[in-house]
Amino acid sequence: MEKRMKTFFNFLKSAAIVVALFISLNILAQKSPERVEPPFWWAGMYHSELQLLVYAEDIGSTRLELTGKGVKVKEVIAVESPNYLFVYLDISNATAGKFEMKFSKLNEVVYKCEYELKEREEGSAYRLGFNATDAIYLLMPDRFSNGDLSNDNIDWMMEKSNRSNADGRHGGDIQGIINNLDYIKDLGFTAIWHNPVIENNQPQYTYHGYAITDFYKVDERLGTNEDYKRLVAEADKKGISIIKDMIFNHCGLYHWWMKDLPTNDWVHQWGDYTRTTYRGTTIVDPHVAQADLDLMLKGWFDRWMPDLNQRNRILAKYLIQNSVWWVEYSGINGIRMDTQPYPYKDFMADWAEYVMLEYPNFTIVGEAWLPYPSLVSYYQGGALNFDGYNSYLPSVFDFPLYYAITEAFNEKDSWDTGLIKLYNSISQDFLYPNPYELVVFGDNHDVDRLFTSLKEDPRKLKLALTFIFTTRGIPMMYSGTEILMSGIEHKGHGLMRKDFPGGWPADPVNAFTKKGRNSQQNEMWDHISKLLNYRKVKEVLHYGWLKHFVPQENIYVYFRYNDNETVMVIINSNEKNMELDMTRFAEATNGFSGAKDIITGKTFEGFKKWNIPAMTPMVLELK
């Protein structure tokens, strides 16, 4: 009897184990992969192939079963790391909705998840990009305004906020931008380019945002993905476009995949840390040495930023889809691409072409930081390049003109110095397929502040900004210029990116208000606001032709004109009043009786001899 009982108990025991095993297997079957990226997609996109990165322990050896109407599995790729599976779907016939993916091993489902194809918002494909009708305000989210004190420090994230460290995080965020949209609008801007807002969970130097550690997530210290979407919507209500900063050249050293790279060639590997040469000229140099080209392309941007290998076709697709995901998800109107010449140029062209096919009216501006028009023009889409290269980029930053601006207003007038530099730079516009879509600027977050380059002379700054706002192209200004912020590059990048006064509740002054600015700052603020609000509605300053006259006696005169009107700009960079013989400009003033300066309201009759005030810009409507 006792023996029987024992056997019975033993039976119960083993039954319990079986049941427990069964339950645990079932629990296992409920498990979702750690990551599926993109986290969702949309039905009805132009491109019909969707690549999914699926990340989970040992998922590489599982078999995929997919049940979804109209969704076809094209290819499933396992890679060197056993913890990834890349799934390629054909969604050309898919409708919006959810489908299920099961990943099984030996007929046991080990992972499963639902995937959603969302409905696209109406008109999503035809959103308008930014263009010459716009004026762009560049701001760095961590340094602009702190709209949410509760996100300054996030427990699980490495770097905490510390405003006393110039290179630390200061707590600015997306809510801070939303709070000040009216300020930006009043100043006359219609677009914001912000430095990256994507997660940078690294131990230091994370405030600038260029060391991404998760491509699908806004940094929690700046807000959430939903906050970002809200920023785009709120800005749109005020007639402001959002231009998102993106980076394909590198990611952050602490990116989640760095601990478990899908493939060994995902990033460029070097025995010892090897930095890029930053020599962008090697890309177009017909005499280039392969060793130089390799260093430029494959060297790391810095120790904290591993160099991505976009020749890996899986990574290439991952990056391309990521950019489209953000456009579709958030509703942005433009992309500013960082370090344009550093990734493989064939990949960059594939990317831009893909995005522009998806959104034909969209705008991408590439940062090809090169000193000559012959180099920068190579990167504007449609350029007649010697090697047939087409970048498909609608816009590039006019770096040659930036250099000219920072020199022209400081130099003595001579054959080849002074304002002639502006003229000479612009006269090379024949190299660009579309000079009217170049972004024109006097500084950005990476260089000496314009006010500093111009020896902190507000008169020079007024001249330079007037030029930037009225010559051809899309004007861009770095936040803080309006309140005469200074900053020198070689003294540390943090110092060119100082906090905007008043962006933090305890700030002693609030420069977002007229009262918080001194008279010199208000004078500059008013000048910018007046000029940009005028420009906003003046078609002739957007796409009107440019005709300029060779500068003489340090005075640069040019005209913007179309069939309906003509605006004349006079840039007098002399320390004294000048008498200007207007008959020289007869071919542009013929048919007009006089002009009105839109800055001072002063009127001029006839075009004979005009008295021009020292160091003063004039913007004149011909009548």
Residue positions annotated with a catalytic role:
338, 367
Which residues, numbered 447-476, are part of the site for Ca ion (CB under 5 A)?
A: none
Nearest to Ca ion of 173, 199 (CB atom):
173
Pairing of strands 136-139, 191-194: parallel
Q: Nearest to residue 105, comparing CAs of 82, 86, 89, 87?
A: 82
User: Residue 42 forms beta bridges with which residues?
Assistant: 118
The minimum distance between CB 152 and Ca ion, in angstroms, equals 5
The minimum distance between CB 161 and Ca ion, in angstroms, equals 7
DSSP string, 110-156: EEEEEEEEEPPPTTGGG-----TT--EEEE-HHHH----GGGS--TT
Should residue 219 be labelled a site residue for Ca ion when binding is judged by CB under 5 A? no
Distance CA 389, CA 282 (A): 15
- Number of residues near Ca ion (by CB under 5 A): 6
Token pair, residue 31, equals: 């498990």
> Residue 261 carries which side chain, given as an amino acid letter?
L
Residue entry with tokens 């936040």: 479
DSSP three-state, residue 463: helix
Should residue 148 be labelled a site residue for Ca ion when binding is judged by CB under 5 A? yes
Say what the alpha-carbon torsion angle 508, 513, 514, 518 is, to the nearest 10 degrees.
30
The minimum distance between CB 201 and Ca ion, in angstroms, equals 16
Token pair, residue 419, equals: 């304002």
Residue entry with tokens 């962008």: 280
Nearest to Ca ion of 174, 184 (CB atom):
174
DSSP three-state, residue 453: helix
Which residues, numbered 411-450, are part of the site for Ca ion (CB under 5 A)?
A: none
The minimum distance between CB 143 and Ca ion, in angstroms, equals 11
Nearest to Ca ion of 148, 429 (CB atom):
148
User: Residue 621 forms beta bridges with which residues?
Assistant: 567, 596
**Candidate list 171, 501, 503, 544; residue touching Ca ion; CB under 5 A:** 171
**Candidate list 134, 152, 338, 482; residue touching Ca ion; CB under 5 A:** 152
Should residue 68 be labelled a site residue for Ca ion when binding is judged by CB under 5 A? no
Should residue 151 be labelled a site residue for Ca ion when binding is judged by CB under 5 A? yes
Task: Enumerate the H helices of 508-622 as residue ranges.
Answer: 519-537, 539-543, 586-589
Which residues, numbered 290-309, are part of the site for Ca ion (CB under 5 A)?
A: none
The minimum distance between CB 364 and Ca ion, in angstroms, equals 29
Distance CA 323, CA 215 (A): 9
**Candidate list 146, 201, 206, 339; residue touching Ca ion; CB under 5 A:** 146
**Candidate list 159, 173, 437, 499; residue touching Ca ion; CB under 5 A:** 173
The minimum distance between CB 173 and Ca ion, in angstroms, equals 4
Nearest to Ca ion of 367, 499 (CB atom):
499
Should residue 227 be labelled a site residue for Ca ion when binding is judged by CB under 5 A? no
- Are 348 and 391 in contact by the 8 Å Cβ rule? The answer is yes
Interacting residues toward Ca ion by CB under 5 A: 146, 148, 151-152, 171, 173
